[in-house]
Amino acid sequence: MSKNNRKPSKSWLNTFSLLMTTLKSITLLSCLVLVYAIFGEKFDFSFQKKEVIATKSTYVSNSNQKGDDWDKVENGIHLQTGLIYAENFDIIRGQCTACHSGKLIAQNRATREGWTQMIRWMQETQGLWDLGANEPKILDYLETHYAPKEVGRRTNINIAAVEWYILELEEN
């Protein structure tokens, strides 16, 4: 009778301890995953960033030495250049980011004419080469993605066409 009683309780204990071990492992694993989720990316990121800075300053054309960040695009922005990632982007990167950062381009907005003038200015005074068949593609890109804000959002208000009226204030 007593033997029969012990046996099931022992096996239950075994099951219980196995269960606890599993639970502990899961908890430990979750903690590790959590720690990695919080800190892992930070560590990785700072490491990769150092690598990119190094390749940037030495201007390495060997694709093996470019970091993973080289082609990273987030929310449509190519991170390394700060430029909108769209059609003809590769031409822009090739022709327009050799002398200065792409951020200088991203900060500016102009019409196609305005962009043409900037290119001419760089060609006349800063040693920018003849862009040849790439020029219309470059201008297409710039005109589409870096148009003046007003043109991009809405056309200017035509003052003459506005029907003006006198605003009557309620008197209390």
Q: What are 130-133's contacts with CB under 8 Å, separation 24+?
A: 131/95
- Near ligand HEC by CB under 6 A, which window of 21-29, 73-81, 104-112, 159-167? 104-112
Q: Which of 90, 108, 117, 151 binds ligand HEC (CB under 6 A)?
A: 108
Q: Order the strands of the 77-78 sheet from edge to edge.
A: 73-74, 77-78, 83-84
**How many residues are present in the chain?**
172
Sequence letter at residue 109: R
Q: Which of 127, 155, 160, 161 binds ligand HEC (CB under 6 A)?
A: 127
CB of 144 to ligand HEC, least distance (A): 13
The β-bridge partners of 48 are: none
Q: How many CB atoms lie within 10 A of CB 81?
A: 19
- Near ligand HEC by CB under 6 A, which window of 6-14, 59-67, 74-82, 127-135? 127-135
Q: 17-46: which residues touch ligand HEC (CB under 6 A)?
A: none
86: contact with ligand HEC by CB under 6 A:
no
132: contact with ligand HEC by CB under 6 A:
no
The nearer residue to ligand HEC, 131 or 147, going by C-beta atoms, is 131
Q: Can you tell me the distance from the alpha carbon of 68 to that of 74, in angstroms, rounded to the nearest whole number?
A: 13
The nearer residue to ligand HEC, 67 or 83, going by C-beta atoms, is 83
Give the position of tokens 């922005």. Answer: 77
119: contact with ligand HEC by CB under 6 A:
yes
Q: Can you tell me the distance from the alpha carbon of 52 to that of 12, in angstroms, rounded to the nearest whole number?
A: 57
91: contact with ligand HEC by CB under 6 A:
no
Tokens read off for 101 = 């950062």
Q: Point out which residues bind ligand HEC (CB under 6 A).
A: 95-96, 98-100, 104-105, 108, 118-119, 122, 126-128, 131, 138, 142
